[in-house]
């Protein structure tokens, strides 16, 4: 796998880990009745998911460029 693809996979993984942490925080705040804080964390998690998806797509592109049709 190319270094470019590998780096995008790593970045996707990091963003998804951040998203998971923010969702956990959102759940805690929601259970405590702190709905604005919960919404903030949920929104931040969504941003990380979007960024992670972008990196995953770039990883596929990099892999295809290196190993795709010749």
User: What gap in Å lies between CA 34 and CA 66, rounded to an integer?
Assistant: 48
Query: What pLDDT sits at residue 13?
Result: 98
Per-residue pLDDT reduced to its tens digit, 6-59 = 999 999 999 999 999 999 999 999 999 999 999 999 999 999 999 999 999 999
Which burial class, exposed, middle or buried, applies to 52 when counting CB atoms under 10 A from its CB (0-12, 13-18, 19+)?
buried
Q: How many CB atoms lie within 10 A of CB 65?
A: 11
Please name which of 22, 16, 19, 20 lies closest in space to residue 59, comparing C-alpha atoms: 16
């Amino acid at each position: 796998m190319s270094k470019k693809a590998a780096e995008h996979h790593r970045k996707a993984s990091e963003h998804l880990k951040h998203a998971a942490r923010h969702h956990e925080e959102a759940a805690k705040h929601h259970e405590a009745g702190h709905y604005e804080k919960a919404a903030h964390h949920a929104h931040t998690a969504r941003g990380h998911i979007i960024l992670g998806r972008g990196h995953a797509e770039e990883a596929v592109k990099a892999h295809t460029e290196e190993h795709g049709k010749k």
